Every structure is written in structure tokens, then in C-alpha cells.
Structure 1
Amino acid sequence: MTKTLPALRAALLVPFLLLIAGAPPAARAAPHEERSGNWLRLGVTRGDARSGDTRGVLLLCDPPQGHGRAAEACEQLRAAGGDIERIPPRSGAVCPMIYAPVTVSAYGAWDGRRVDYTHTFSNSCVMAAGTGAVFDLPS
């Protein structure tokens, strides 16, 4: 019985992999090609990739929606030209020196340009101080 389980897994996995590998490029296209305006698919993973807790939303900015602080996040992104790294850090932020990694990701489109951003911060306080409302997702 223990030898049949790996064989069964392989039998189920092979057709799936062939389906993905054989899909035409248009079928694997990113969803940003179907949307217009300024938008970002945002993700926040607390902990490491193997056991982390991941949250995500679709932030739309024309008009602001899809995010608990959409108007504020869209305004901060507009001020930074859609470049998350250009969002000014929150002044006066004091964060503990505790390592509790948080990885954020954003992909989408801003002013006709593709956005693809990923960064790991040492903890959620450092993340919030550096990215404003953009990655302030509900826990």
C-alpha cells in the first residue's frame, strides 16, 4: 500500500503539469492585461514562506476601492508616481528590534507602466513605517 501512494500522486500530477506547460502564453497572461487604470494586487505574508499567514487584496485607484484604506493608499501611490519605494517613510516611527519577518508584494499597473515589487521587512512596524497605508491589510 505504501508503494501505491507515490504512484497515485505521480499519476495525478503529470496531467496537471502537462496542462500548465502546454497552455498558450495568452492563457497564462497576468490579469493586469485585462484591467485599465491604476491598480495593484497586494499581498502580505507574515512569517516565513513555508508557514506564513498570507493576506491579499486588489487595490483599485480609479476610483479608490478594494482596500480598507484605499483612498489613502492611492493618494500615497499617486504622490510617489506608483513607485512604492518612493513613498516617504513615516516620520518619528520607533520600531522594536524584533525579527518577525513580513514579506510584501505588489504587481499591477500604474500610469500604463507595469509594477512588480517584493520586499521583506524585519517586522510589521518597519513595513508600516516604510510603505504607509499601501500594505495595511486586515489581519
Structure 2
Amino acid sequence: MRHVKAVAALAVVGAVALATPANASTALASRLTLSITPESSTGGPGRTVTLICEPTGGTHPDAAAACADLIKANGDIKRIPPAKGNCLPVEIRVIAKAFGNWQGRQVSYSQSFTNDCYANLGTGGHVFHF
């Protein structure tokens, strides 16, 4: 009987040990709210999406690419290299914002750009591409 109890106790400990990493990684999932908002009311409506990384999800249309950029930059949008491309020289100033958490730490980003194309390219081409 003692052997059965010992085996049962080990099974419970093993199950808890296996469950803990999954729960720990879920707790550290990175979740950001991203928005692009015109600086003036004549710029039209703003847009907002959610982005979840590790595991990838949210309402961002290309969450996998946006997460890949953020993972390389350790969640710091300012460290993402600009993407190459051309934007129309139209000035409809926007503010690109991000807030939430990245692997357990608070993240906040806000930057003004000439237009949403420059916001997209200036942050790597994926994070604010929505």
C-alpha cells in the first residue's frame, strides 16, 4: 500500500512540474494594444488592434511578422530597424502608440510620424501595418 501511495504522490508531483512551465509561459505572454491615430480631426478615424506574442494571436492582421520584429528587439519598438520602401509625401500626421506588457514588463511607446506609411516603415514594416 505504501508503494501505491508513493507512486501516486510522484505522479502528482510530476503532473504539477509538467503543468508549471506551460502556465508560466502563458503568464508571460506579451500583450500589446497598438493604435495609429491622426493628429487632427481631418485625418479620418484612427485604428486600433491587439497583438499577442508567444503564443501569437490578437486582432493584428499579421501578428506573426509583428511578433518576430518585436522578439528580435526584445519588445522595444525603437530598436526595430526601419523597413525600406517609399511613402507618398503627403502630410497627414499620425501618432503611433503601443502599450501593454512584454514578457512581464510594462511597455509604452508613442511617436509622431508624417503619415501612416512612415509610421509603418519607421517601425520595421510590420508592427504598425494594419
Report the TM-score when normalising by structure 1.
Answer: 0.66
Partner of 1:27: none
Partner of 2:78: 85
Q: Specify the code of the residue in structure 2 equivalent to 1:58.
A: T
Q: Spell out structure 1 runs of 4+ moving beyond 3 A.
A: 49-52
- Cα RMSD, aligned residues only: 1.9
In 2, Cα distance between the equivalents of 1:134 and 1:108? 14
How far has the Cα of 1:47 moved from its partner? 4.5
Aligned residues: 102
Q: 1:53 is paired with a residue of what secondary structure? A: coil
Q: 1:74 is paired with a residue of what secondary structure? A: helix
Q: Is 2:112 aligned against 1:120?
A: yes
Partner of 2:46: 54
Partner of 2:68: 75
How far has the Cα of 1:110 moved from its partner? 0.8
The answer to whether the 8 Å contact 1:106/1:115 transfers is yes
Partner of 1:108: 100
Instruction: Give unmatched runs, 5+ long, in structure 2.
Output: 1-26
Percent identity at matched positions? 40
Q: Specify the code of the residue in structure 1 equivalent to 2:71.
A: R
Partner of 1:129: 121
* CA-to-aligned-CA distance 1:19-52 (integer Å, 9 cap, x gap): xxxxxxxxxxxxxxxx742110111113526864
Instruction: Give unmatched runs, 5+ long, in structure 1.
Output: 1-34
Report the TM-score when normalising by structure 2.
Answer: 0.70
